[in-house]
Amino acid sequence: MAIVLTGDRPTGKLHLGHYAGSLKNRVKLQDEYKSYIMIADTQALSDNYENPEKIKISILEVVKDYLAVGIDPKKCTIFIQSLVPELAELTMYYMNMVTIARLGRNPTVKNEMQQKGMEESVPAGFFCYPVSQTADITAFKAEVIPVGEDQLPMIEQTNEIVRRFNHTYKKDVLVECEAMLSNVRRLVGIDGNAKASKSLNNAIFLDDDESVIKEKVDAMYTDPQHIKVSDPGHVEGNVVFEYLDAFYSDKQEVEDLKQQYIKGGLGDSVLKSMLFDCLKDMLKPIREKRRSLVESELLQMLMDLSKVARDVAKDTLYDVKEAIGINY
């Protein structure tokens, strides 16, 4: 059975970008694949090291989001990265398999450094986090990684390290992986930014109350030139249409509305109210399930499943050290 691994950084609650880009795929995959989901607290510290409390609190928030959307801990090993210290050790060995220059070319990291104003003073831990992602993926011999588009450079870098390692130590210990993208490769932010993201604070969260969903839909960026209802409007870059494309079930209806909008005669408020109804109905059961979960039970579950994950990572670490020839 093929193995799947994904994860999220516990830096806040999860949002519709996660849901469309990755969570929905994970729920589907858990029936057919051996699935692992990692809560990347160690990685999240690399740009939040001054605020560890945020990471700690967010671990439970992220787990709640998982269970609320239908991830089943009986089918899927959900674990905490820092409870599997073998991952840190693997990272050390893999650091030798990549150059500083190559790390510096990773477009996602470059973009994040710019966004976070880190260009002059990037912590080594942040700069090198793609290597720790290689450890996370390879420790579980994962072959399929359901992620959003921004993660493609990480998968590429992982496979380079895998090939370099196997070649250097002349043994096929590590397994290459491939990304699985959903039909929503990158959900835009409500402000029109290219990506809905926790750090940009431009996302609708799975736990948002109806009044908050309404406010956010009302505030969505549409077409600044579409002033009167009768004006012809633009569909590209129009956040409301991007969200209707991602979440509205009747695709034909959305196509018809687009044609009408382009011609003129369709107001933003009609579309926004349609989108609000759609998101409200979709998120209600998720929010209710989320709020019914008991935190102490979730913590116990995470402790238990992290032990299961650790046993798997220990085996890989053993193989890696044996391949290098340092299994003293």
Helix, strand, or coil here: 38?
Answer: strand
Query: How far are the Cα atoms of 16, 19, 202 from residue 12, in angstroms, in the given order?
Result: 13, 14, 13
Applying CB under 6 A, does 136 fall inside the site for ligand ATP? Answer: no
| Count of H-run helices and E-run strands, the chain | 15, 5
Distances (CA, A) of 155 to 106, 146, 152, 202, 262: 11, 11, 5, 26, 39
Cα angle, residue 178 at apex, residues 172 and 180 outer, rounded to 5°: 160
Our finding on whether 8 is near ligand ATP (CB under 6 A) is yes
Sort strands 76-80 and 178-180 into parallel, antiparallel or unpaired.
Answer: unpaired
Toward ligand ATP, which CB reaches closer, 20 or 317? 20
- Pick 62 or 317: Cβ nearer ligand ATP: 62
Q: Show the binding pattern over residues 213-232: x = contacts ligand ATP (CB under 6 A), - = does not.
A: --------------------
Name the minimum Å distance from CB 173 to ligand ATP: 26
Nearer to ligand ATP, 147 or 257 (CB): 147
Tell me which of 138, 148, 213, 266 binds ligand ATP, using CB under 6 A: 148
What Cα–Cα distance (Å) separates residue 92 from each residue in 38, 42, 226? 19, 14, 54
For residues 86 and 314, the answer to whether their CB atoms sit within 8 Å is yes
Can residue 187 be called a binding residue for ligand ATP (CB under 6 A)? Answer: yes
Identify the residue among 4, 13, 17, 63 touching ligand ATP (CB under 6 A): 17
| Residue 147 is a binding residue for ligand ATP (CB under 6 A) | yes
Beta-strand (E) ranges in the chain?
Answer: 3-8, 34-39, 76-80, 144-146, 178-180
- Minimum distance from CB of 311 to ligand ATP (Å)? 25
Q: How far is the CB of 175 from ligand ATP (least distance, A)?
A: 19
Residues touching ligand ATP: how many (CB under 6 A)? 19
Binding site for ligand ATP (CB under 6 A): 8-9, 11, 17-18, 21-22, 147-148, 150-151, 184, 186-187, 195-199
